[in-house]
């Protein structure tokens, strides 16, 4: 006995039912995919807006207090300070003599502030001879 013979429906009715079921399944998948995409896009937009808000940065003096001991232990660094570049605050790293090797060892930014390296020469206390 063949499969069509066991069915109570005629062969054309069985095929039509399978096509209808496939269409319903396809429509459900499309609706589900659209809902998922819309949810992800909305969540991504929300996260993008939240992450683009500037993070508050600590006062530059606090960052200097935390990092100056470490920076001045580096050979060639004689001090740190606060400065400005194009109106924006920067961390100054004062060096006796600038070199590409020294600049490569120093950070480019500290706690969201740009670092500017300034060559000062040797620094001595006034009473030093």
63-80 average pLDDT score: 95
Greater confidence, 6 or 81?
81
Greater confidence, 69 or 10?
69
Confidence at residue 126, expressed as pLDDT on a 0 to 100 scale: 86
Greater confidence, 72 or 129?
72
The answer on pLDDT for 26 being more than 80 is no
Bridge partners of 110, per DSSP, are 113
For residues 116 and 93, the answer to whether their CB atoms sit within 8 Å is yes
- Residue 14: which pLDDT band, with cuts at 50, 70 and 90? low
The three-state secondary structure class of 28 is helix
CB neighbour class for 110 (10 Å; exposed up to 12, middle 13-18, buried from 19): buried
């Amino acid at each position: 006995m063949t499969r069509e013979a066991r069915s109570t429906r005629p062969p054309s009715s069985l095929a039509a039912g399978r096509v209808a079921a496939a269409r319903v399944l396809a429509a459900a998948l499309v609706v589900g995919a659209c809902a998922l995409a819309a949810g992800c896009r909305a969540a991504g937009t929300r996260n993008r807006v939240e992450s683009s808000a500037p993070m508050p940065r600590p006062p530059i003096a606090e960052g200097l207090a935390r990092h100056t001991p470490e920076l001045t232990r580096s050979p060639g660094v004689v001090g740190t300070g606060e400065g400005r570049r194009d109106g924006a605050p920067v961390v100054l790293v004062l060096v006796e003599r600038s070199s590409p090797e020294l600049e490569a060892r120093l950070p480019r930014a500290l706690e969201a502030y740009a670092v500017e390296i300034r060559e000062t020469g040797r620094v001595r206390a006034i009473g030093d001879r």
